[in-house]
Amino acid sequence: MGRIKSTLIKRTSKSLLKSDIFSESFETNKKILGDSMPSKSIRNKIAGYIARLKKMDAKQSLNKLNDGR
């Protein structure tokens, strides 16, 4: 089981995801967020959660394509 993310992390990540600049890579997301976050730990948590959401979204899209066959 994974760690439970706080509401702040989830809400901020979902609002940032509306812009389509993030990827499935944690490192890339971390660089995009840069110094705009109040602390390094919050930046890393948000970057990781965004990467996880993007991976889940890609997997769901792939499953939808395979189910249509």
pLDDT in tens, 31-60: 999 988 889 999 999 999 999 999 999 898
Q: What is the pLDDT of residue 62?
A: 83
Alpha-helical (H) ranges within 1-69 are: 7-16, 26-33, 40-67
pTM: 0.85
CA triplet 1, 48, 67: central angle to 5 degrees? Answer: 70
Q: What is the mean pLDDT of the chain?
A: 90
Q: What is the pLDDT of residue 66?
A: 81
**What is the CATH number that goes with domain 7-14+21-67?**
1.10.60
| Rounded Cα gap, residues 49 and 5, in angstroms | 8
Q: What is the pLDDT of residue 68?
A: 66
Domain range summary for the chain, segments of one domain joined by +: 7-14+21-67
Q: What is the pLDDT of residue 64?
A: 81
| Rounded Cα gap, residues 13 and 45, in angstroms | 9
In the structure encoding, which two tokens stand for residue 29, read together?
A: 């997301």
